[in-house]
Amino acid sequence: MDTLNKNKIFISVALTILILSISSIANAEITLNPDVFVIETGKKILFDIDGGNNLYVATVGDKTVAQVSISGNQGTIDGLSGGKTTITVEDTDGEKTNALLYVNDLELSQAQIFSKEGEIITVSIQSGSGSYNTDVADATIASAYISNDEIDIEALSIGTTKITVTDTDGNLATILITVEQGIKKTLCLLPGESKTVQLPGVSGFYNTTLSDTDIAAVTITNDDAQVVGLASGITDVIITDSDGVNSTIIVTVKLPAPEVTEIMEDDNLTISWDAITGADGYTLLFLPLDADGNSDINNLQTFALDNVNSVGPISTTNLTGNIALQAIETTIPEITSDISKIIPINAN
């Protein structure tokens, strides 16, 4: 085969590959951004079209709800009246796609918010019908609670998620929340103990709010917050800077561990302790030892005690293990003390 024929064959193959590539691109799946539309009556929304052969027409399932127009690779939707319908975009090769459209009278004060971890932002419901519900796509990033016509949104962790709000008429609105790194600390203190939390200090901190001032106190110096435990319980400390950004510190003040005194007489144990302020009662713990002399955690025994200051005498004749005491606050299950010193028991 001469060189000229070889070149003709090469050009023919190359043209075939090029045509197939163009055909593949032209027949690419059509996608819309966004892929679900939510607008209010009388408002407009723009959307982008990708894929297909770039020659598009669009239709609306219910023309009383909305109308749509296309210019190049961008479409415009006009909301006409409340309702739900479908938008169809098709190219001249017959490739098409559908998207849901909600036109409603449910309007929010904000459709997109940016927040920092620990911050709470309130979004107002400006119009809608009846009662409202919220659904958070990723509940690890944010939470949403409705009170009357307001939605309190708490930023929990870094990320982006969508909050969907619906009313009793089926109207729907969405809020896109982006949570950036902020400050949300958890502190565990004893009464009288203090710890320091470093604050971002970007905008200057000027306001401190505690949910219970009997449990903890806070002093701010420059960019440091010194938190002091006052009494057992749990309180939220919210520090707001001059830009309105919140830093949240969740403070748990534990009960102090009981200081026990033990007396052993003729294999009978009596223990006593000073009363713990804030304690509603005490728990006596007995952790037996197994045959190998190891703690048998599966057989831990607990005994609830009323607000007393001693227990005993306890016969230790057949006991081998460890006894300890813990103070508890029954009204708040999370509030306990560390255990007292451990009293070893060895059967004779």
Three-state secondary structure call for residue 16: helix
Q: Phi and psi for 51 in degrees, rounded to 5?
A: 90, -175
In one letter, which amino acid is 339? I
Residue 41 and residue 114: Cα distance in Å, rounded? 26
Indicate if 260-345 has the same CATH topology as 107-180.
yes
Instruction: DSSP letter for 295, please.
Output: B
Q: For domain 107-180, which architecture applies? A: Sandwich (2.60)
CATH class name, domain 260-345: mainly beta
Residue 42 and residue 1: Cα distance in Å, rounded? 71
Q: How many Cα neighbours within 13 Å face the side chain of 69? A: 4
pLDDT per residue as tens digits for the range 183-241: 667 888 888 889 988 776 556 666 888 888 888 999 888 778 889 998 888 898 888 77
Contact 106, 127 (CB under 8 A): yes
Q: Phi and psi for 281 in degrees, rounded to 5?
A: 175, -170
Of 196, 160, 200, the C-alpha closest to 176 is: 160
pLDDT at site 203:
60
Q: For domain 31-104, which architecture applies? A: Sandwich (2.60)
pLDDT at site 283:
86
Contact 238, 246 (CB under 8 A): yes
Three-state secondary structure call for residue 21: helix
Q: For domain 184-253, which architecture applies? A: Sandwich (2.60)
Residue 251 and residue 189: Cα distance in Å, rounded? 7
pLDDT at site 291:
76
In one letter, which amino acid is 281? G
Residue 176 and residue 96: Cα distance in Å, rounded? 28
Cβ density class 15-40: b for 16+ within 10 Å, e for less: eeeeeeeeeeebeeebebeeeebbbb
Of 217, 183, 207, 209, the C-alpha closest to 197 is: 183
pLDDT at site 15:
46
Contact 188, 207 (CB under 8 A): no
Of 200, 199, 231, 201, the C-alpha closest to 217 is: 231
pLDDT at site 183:
66
Q: How many Cα neighbours within 13 Å face the side chain of 164? A: 11
Residue 191 and residue 305: Cα distance in Å, rounded? 23
Domain boundaries, the chain: 31-104, 107-180, 184-253, 260-345
pLDDT at site 24:
45
Chain CA centroid to CA 234, Å: 20
pTM of the model: 0.45
Q: Which residues of the chain have pLDDT under 70?
A: 1-27, 181-184, 200-206, 333-334, 347-348
